[in-house]
Each structure stands twice: as structure tokens, then as C-alpha cells.
């Protein structure tokens, strides 16, 4: 017969192990012992999104993507993977593209965040938005806000001479010429399940060549 003395509330060893495996919680242990120490912490802070200050009080573990979508009703940025792998959540932070699913909102106090909703000026679309429309750079559109934000930042990176993995001259000698290989490489963090890649490249190429800016 199994001894019960060493397990909570007289459980056998078998009963104790089964409870942990099935529920992830050590049954019979006090609740405080089964929870991570510390618990949730909230903080009050302001975020500047698309030129507007927003005052929030959120769990400090809230990602920027969740703050945008769940608390500010800015649902243009999409959650594809929530793991930094698809680019659907791409936004601009001080002009640089970031995966907002991988970044805590609280660290962006003082930053200027731009989402897809902030790229147009009223009814005037950003040239990259117009180019995506003209070149059919999407099908279902789920990846499109991230693609467009990425493409906008990509142009600035190339103008500043930042090399990519396919840039022949790694030492910066001025703006990088964006051929199709450069565009594909620099957009490789943005996945499109519909496979609209040729038209996305065409849209970015058009803007980079000044036909849409």
C-alpha cells in the first residue's frame, strides 16, 4: 500500500503526480504556492500613437500590439503569429520598423509610434498605400498593414545606406539602389500566406523609383 504521509492532504504519490500532469497545478497545495510569485503589476503611462497622446493603465506585461488592438481600438496592426515570425504586427517606432508583438508597450513611453492608421493624411493615402492598391499588392489583406509599414521603413533604411544581406557593398557609400533582390530581402520578415509577393515587390519598386512618391 502507498504511503500518504509525504503528500498534501493525504494524497498518494500517484494521485499527486496525476494532478500535476493533468491540471498543471499541484492539487492540494495552497493557491499561493501554485501561482508565480509577484503577480500582475500595472503602471500608468502615456503612449504617443499617430501623433496623439493616449493615457493608459495597463499590466506592464502588455505588448504594444495588444495595447493598440485591445485597449486603443487600433486594429489595423494584425496578430498573425504573436512570436515575431510573420511581420503582420509591424509598426514604426521613431521611424524604425518593429514587431509590436515582441515589444512591451511600457517601454515605448516617449516614442512616436505610427501604425497603418497613421500613414494617411485624412483621405490622402500614403504613396505606399496607393502603390499597393495600384499593383494589387494583396489578396486577403491580413498581412498588408505590416507589409506597408515595413515597406515605408525600408525606403528610409535604403536612403540612409543601411546594407542588407544581399547588398554587395557593405560599407555604406550612400543610398542603396533597391533592385528586386534588395526589396525581397528587406521585406523577408513579412510573410504573405496568399503569396502576393510579386505584386508587393512591384509596389515597393514603384515607390522607390519615384513613380509613387
> Closer CB to ligand FES, residue 20 or residue 194?
194
Q: What is residue 166's DSSP assignment?
A: T
Q: Is 84 in the site for ligand FES (CB under 6 A)?
A: yes
Judged by CB under 6 A, which of 69, 128, 138, 178 binds ligand FES? 138
The CB density around residue 69, as the number of other CB atoms within 10 Å, is: 19
Judged by CB under 6 A, which of 11, 68, 80, 202 binds ligand FES? 80
166: buried, middle or exposed (CB in 10 Å: 19+, 13-18, 0-12)?
middle
> Please, which residues have CB within 8 angstroms of residue 53's CB and are 6 or more apart in sequence?
46, 47
Closest distance to ligand FES from the beta carbon of 88 (Å): 5
Of 72, 73, 108, 103, give the one whose Cα is nearest residue 89.
103
Q: Is 139 in the site for ligand FES (CB under 6 A)?
A: yes
Do residues 143 and 82 touch, judged by C-beta distance below 8 A?
no
Closest distance to ligand FES from the beta carbon of 130 (Å): 17
> Closer CB to ligand FES, residue 147 or residue 167?
147
At residue 47, what are phi and psi to the nearest 5 degrees? -120, 135
Q: Which of residues 144-173 bind ligand FES (CB under 6 A)?
A: 144
Which residues make up the interface to ligand FES (CB under 6 A)? 79-82, 84-89, 99, 101, 138-144, 192-194, 196
Amino acid at each position: 500500500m502507498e504511503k500518504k504521509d509525504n503528500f498534501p492532504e493525504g494524497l498518494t504519490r500517484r494521485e499527486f503526480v496525476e494532478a500535476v500532469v493533468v491540471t498543471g497545478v499541484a492539487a492540494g497545495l495552497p493557491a499561493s504556492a501554485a501561482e508565480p510569485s509577484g503577480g500582475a503589476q500595472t503602471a500608468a503611462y502615456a503612449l504617443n500613437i499617430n501623433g496623439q497622446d493616449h493615457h493608459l493603465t495597463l499590466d506592464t506585461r502588455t505588448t504594444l500590439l495588444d495595447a493598440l488592438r485591445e485597449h486603443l481600438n487600433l486594429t489595423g496592426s494584425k496578430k498573425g503569429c504573436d512570436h515575431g515570425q510573420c511581420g503582420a504586427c509591424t509598426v514604426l517606432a521613431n521611424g524604425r520598423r518593429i514587431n509590436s508583438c515582441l515589444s512591451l508597450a511600457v517601454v515605448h513611453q516617449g516614442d512616436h509610434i505610427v501604425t497603418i492608421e497613421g500613414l494617411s493624411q485624412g483621405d490622402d493615402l500614403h504613396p505606399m498605400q496607393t502603390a499597393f492598391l495600384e499593383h494589387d499588392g494583396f489578396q486577403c489583406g491580413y498581412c498588408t498593414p505590416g507589409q506597408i509599414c515595413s515597406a515605408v521603413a525600408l525606403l528610409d533604411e535604403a536612403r540612409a545606406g543601411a546594407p542588407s544581406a544581399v547588398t554587395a557593398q557593405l560599407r555604406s557609400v550612400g543610398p542603396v539602389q533597391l533592385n528586386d533582390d534588395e526589396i525581397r530581402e528587406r521585406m523577408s520578415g513579412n510573410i504573405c500566406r496568399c503569396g502576393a509577393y510579386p505584386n508587393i515587390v512591384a509596389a515597393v519598386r514603384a515607390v522607390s523609383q519615384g513613380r509613387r512618391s
